[in-house]
Structure 1
């Protein structure tokens, strides 16, 4: 089973950014005076519900691969940005220390398919993780797939796995330059032989094998034109069955719906092989239609089980004709319910909604494993198939747990656990005894006892109680002078939990505080918490973030001139909106791959999905007014002293197209008063974040931390060996 949520594809799992100060006094006397490239303007005006809106930088939306003008602008901006970055104090020391910290063995939690175990590992500084196989947990691992051999610069990544039921074949995705497009190929596992099968134009999907292992179901789009490959809207997804040994052009079309080109379809074969479950989605909300097909009858048709988009129905597994779903049907914090397809109108709730929000569920052995969040901390409970509580999994502190996959014939599952000050460890969990056995523990060059993690609660503008994690070295003095990095996301039902990050560890080692609030718009407290930060209520998210900054200042953790803010993707929008609304509150800003033009995001690639969270400038006057009021691009004001800001994006980002960041940076440079830098760092041969090689990540983080150190008044110390 693979993740069907488009919100998953929109989210960035690990962002490491920070933001600079609006106080010119912190800029040293030798700071270079930046001269930005001149950005031409065009006469472009659009009308929304009677309101005329100028868009003079519209030409920067053009694909950099297709437009010589945009390519020249990118080159000129990078020349300024990287020239400035080279002048930053501590850049070399930060890079050296970060490289050393990063150089440790990293393991995913193992999983079992067929008679083998699999896991992914990075030796330390490898650009991409390597897939290994084992005949047993204590057997010598063997390299199965090493993406590091696919390109010299490490920009080609492994982008999805699907094992045949008998464990003989592996279908896997290949991702180039961070693009969301995947090409899928097939390997015979025992011999390592590559089959001739090659499937293209797959995005937001994976593969699910038929029980006989002769082929698999998958979803894909039609081939786009060359000039529109990375910018055009993704419409008319279709479901096919691919039989091994045949060309993709001969694949059997299983389902399409030309009357609803915006709908997407995620196929999944039930573990017993009898049913094809087709989950139908049309946006980022967890609201699905569901269809199924009886695969034991070659003449069977698809049958509609859920015929509306009112609730979540995420398929967990089945017991014969009884289907198990994770759902928010009459349960905003989610429940597990069953539907017998012989009596589809009846819903039987077997695991009721809890006080905590259910994040995921899996069926392993004769158990349902449910992962909850208790104030954004992992809580995992085991139930039997009737929904009777068995036990809770015990964890070694405040942190994040993930994994817990497996199959019905397994009596074991695997998971990983980490926290801000606890590197990832992987465990085998015995479903019969409830025993967790440590398999591997990351060895990182730091002492976790030197750091502490706490959780506080503060009130937002409207009185809503919001949690926030704060991590730092032990013994810091709360005197208002600590360089502090405030990071958040606040959207798409994505939950932020306390996980380990080498870059954040280095930030704390350098003397900084790291703070992460759980804003509305996320999924930490269920459906109502999410909806309270969407569409015309999106301002709640920004208010929550601003209140977090004020809490840190009021409680003497930091002060405005020492406070940096960070966010990527939807979090980039968050930073952009808060930067324009309260430029006085922050010392530095690092908006990464952000959605900055809230009036036109739906015109490109996956942007049309995001109307579930944002609304649309075309939907209604009310939604247009709400978007226009906070859209970062449209709320930059001439003559304002904005904090030092480094916008980051990438030329191959086909999730949030780089035109968002290009236009925002151009407008910010035009409006900025004073000498605070407003630069844009544009990565080449990289996308939204997924698949980015280690070398590029380290370079980007070192640039960001050096930028922060300079503008937040940090005087970092480094271990003597450095």
Structure 2
């Protein structure tokens, strides 16, 4: 099994009683507790914001907003609280009314964006900065090396292979040839142990739905696509058995409505199945080897131990950092085919002759466990059991014992967070840590866990990819920072034990246009939040800027799902800093994984308000420190970060000029009813439970839109963005919120002049696999809009024209080291 990455490559309120008959909301939004009703839930009453937002440089009359029907008859009684949902009809993505809504909103946005004079300047500079050769961390499978590569402006990354690191590269798979508009993307790949077969997932239009195909690879790297095609695949693992005959994968029993294009439906995703596919056979013959019918919302996955003997089965509930863990010893599988191979059909949960002999290692959701390596029956796992910053433990699976008795190999660090571990040949173990949100890389002994070496890394940045194999002595890693696209290094551990291993520069990424990272500075500050917790925030900008409160400033956050926001290069943000003398700030608020599970827990469930308090404290710091004023501050977030910025707009509109909310979760009372939304209850809680409803309602963006009581009595300018094929956070969240914003704040007597608009992209999803053209267009629209709102001036000089045309084919991976 190839280990390609330690991380992915490339966003409490108190409960108070309230009196009977108190009404919440404005302008026909009904949220009420009737008199004499025996209340089951007592959500805190949230008042409108005290002060409104500053008037921005972009003005839109409320008369311009489309007229959207409100169905006042739709009122839910949730635990004794009546909640109106007048835009529920927008939940049907295919209705004529929803399509008309999308057209009308896009038409309004198309009228507003041309008023943003620097939009074309941004697009031109961003295109130039984005047009550089991007290469992923190399990895080895079988006898060949592989890497992903984009020559600059290709719509999708291309997968290349090489016989060795100095030989010419060959195209193995080019997704750009699969569609005219570049919207078919390669989601995942998994190679057989001998490297002669590859299973790969493709998706269309940004949807989470995928299909799996298989190709054979000749010894000289020539691909041959096989007839196999597996459909209804979503959130799938891929794991080849070491006989090279087939692989495990996940699918769902069904997709959307009959005749409906997958990706636009809102059906809830349940009853995921783990199947085994034998290459060369139809999907209809694939046995279901594992499922959890008693718990339809659980998710499953499989992986193989490095020696191929054991199948590891994982079960997760929602997105909590915890899973159950089971193991199957393939030597105990007695059902065989005539040619001596395991007959997986015999273990089909519905039609098989035998039950799969599954051994339980962990049968609860007390902690997470991920496989690191094994030596025979001695297994090594990364876990957060009684270790919120993670540790590595070992156990003998031949004699299962409770996880609490497993031996610590690498104990939990007192401050640093263990983010990943990679076992290599012999006794080598590479570990990656976060130290105050900065990447660290170490070499340890697999047998003892002892630290042998810390690798020296450049400046403030992140380790963005690590690859290696258990049977090899080499590994690769990539490193990046806010203003450097990064570099990839190779480390050879074949030297004797005790030798200091120095990473060798394998390839440094260079922009095609003049760029000097030394012209920029990055500092990390720790901002006290409302409860005194110190929140880390990185601030990056050109050197020599005068901190007089006038600088266009972008504050970005996420704060959820144990995901860490680490330093990383973005051509979008570099364009903002370079084009406008902008300041980029990245806040590592609670809810993320920057300091381990405890940090995540402090921003989840009943503590979710901490995320908003943290983010608002960071905004206040940027203003107090002289970087920005409310009139020059934009906040941005996507997905859970879209929820973040929308909630902050409701709670403190006076702090911001502009809000960029991307594919956000906005209806916190119905999020769990669509596609995979049920899995987020581990972070948000369940609105179907009275106690959890009490802390969800007070921050739900859709249900807390109110005219500010004082000041300008208006909201910041708002640009929501979503895609019609987003089946992760379905677009109805953004549809309903923009309709509510325009209705509540855009009435005939309204003071609202800052625009409230939405950009709805077609054949676009949650973000993964988005074509380069769409990335550029959305960034130019979003940042051009924000710049106009902040009254930012374009300051960057025109770029010199390149002397040579773009190369049509890439150079070998090591040529530019």
Structure 1 and Structure 2 fold alike (TM over 0.5): yes
Q: In 2 relative to 1, CA 570–279 (structure 1 residues): closer, same or farther, beyond 3 Å?
A: same
Matched, 1:440 2:507: yes
Q: TM-score, normalised by structure 2?
A: 0.84
Matched, 1:576 2:646: yes
Residue aligning to 1:521: 591
Match of 1:417 among 466, 472, 479: 479
CA apart distance, 1:23: 2.5
Counterparts of 1:527 and 1:638 in 2: how far apart (Å)?
Answer: 37
Matched, 1:690 2:768: yes
Residue aligning to 1:368: 429
Q: In 2 relative to 1, CA 200–618 (structure 1 residues): closer, same or farther, beyond 3 Å?
A: same
Match of 1:97 among 125, 135, 160: 125
Matched, 1:324 2:324: no
Q: In 2 relative to 1, CA 3–254 (structure 1 residues): closer, same or farther, beyond 3 Å?
A: farther
* Matched position secondary structure for 1:305: strand
Match of 1:35 among 58, 64, 73: 64
Matched, 1:45 2:75: yes
Q: In 2 relative to 1, CA 25–610 (structure 1 residues): closer, same or farther, beyond 3 Å?
A: closer
* Matched position secondary structure for 2:614: helix
* Matched position secondary structure for 1:86: helix
Residue aligning to 1:353: 412
Task: Say whether the 8 Å CA contact 1:160–1:206 is kept in structure 2.
Answer: no
Match of 2:325 among 270, 276, 290: 290
Counterparts of 1:497 and 1:146 in 2: how far apart (Å)?
Answer: 30
* Matched position secondary structure for 1:336: strand
* Matched position secondary structure for 2:64: coil
Residue aligning to 2:518: 449
Residue aligning to 1:622: 691
Matched, 1:265 2:276: no
Residue aligning to 1:18: none
CA apart distance, 1:594: 0.3
Task: Say whether the 8 Å CA contact 2:4–2:139 is kept in structure 1.
Answer: no
Matched, 1:559 2:629: yes
Counterparts of 1:474 and 1:448 in 2: how far apart (Å)?
Answer: 10
CA apart distance, 1:359: 1.2
After TM superposition, the structure 1 = structure 2 runs for residues 207-246 of structure 1, keeping only pairs within 5 Å, are 207-226=238-257, 229=262, 230-246=265-281
Q: Aligned-pair RMSD on alpha carbons?
A: 1.8
Deviations along 1:139-169, whole A, 9 cap, x unmatched?
A: 1111110101111111100010000001101
Residue aligning to 1:710: 788
Residue aligning to 2:89: 59
Counterparts of 2:785 and 2:655 in 1: how far apart (Å)?
Answer: 18
Q: TM-score, normalised by structure 1?
A: 0.95
Larger Rg over CA atoms: 2
* Matched position secondary structure for 2:545: coil
CA apart distance, 1:14: 7.2
Q: Which moved more, 1:435-444 or 1:654-663?
A: 435-444
Q: In 2 relative to 1, CA 38–641 (structure 1 residues): closer, same or farther, beyond 3 Å?
A: same
Residue aligning to 1:280: 315
After TM superposition, the structure 1 = structure 2 runs for residues 309-708 of structure 1, keeping only pairs within 5 Å, are 309-345=365-401, 346-354=405-413, 355-365=415-425, 366-386=427-447, 387-432=449-494, 433-444=500-511, 445=513, 446-510=515-579, 511-619=581-689, 621-638=690-707, 640-672=713-745, 673=750, 674-708=752-786
Q: How many matched pairs?
A: 707
CA apart distance, 1:321: 0.8
Task: Say whether the 8 Å CA contact 2:632–2:656 is kept in structure 1.
Answer: yes
Task: Say whether the 8 Å CA contact 1:363–1:407 is kept in structure 2.
Answer: yes
CA apart distance, 1:602: 0.3
Q: In 2 relative to 1, CA 99–146 (structure 1 residues): closer, same or farther, beyond 3 Å?
A: same
Match of 1:153 among 174, 181, 197: 181
CA apart distance, 1:708: 1.2
Residue aligning to 1:140: 168
Task: Say whether the 8 Å CA contact 1:416–1:426 is kept in structure 2.
Answer: yes
Counterparts of 1:516 and 1:641 in 2: how far apart (Å)?
Answer: 26
CA apart distance, 1:88: 1.4
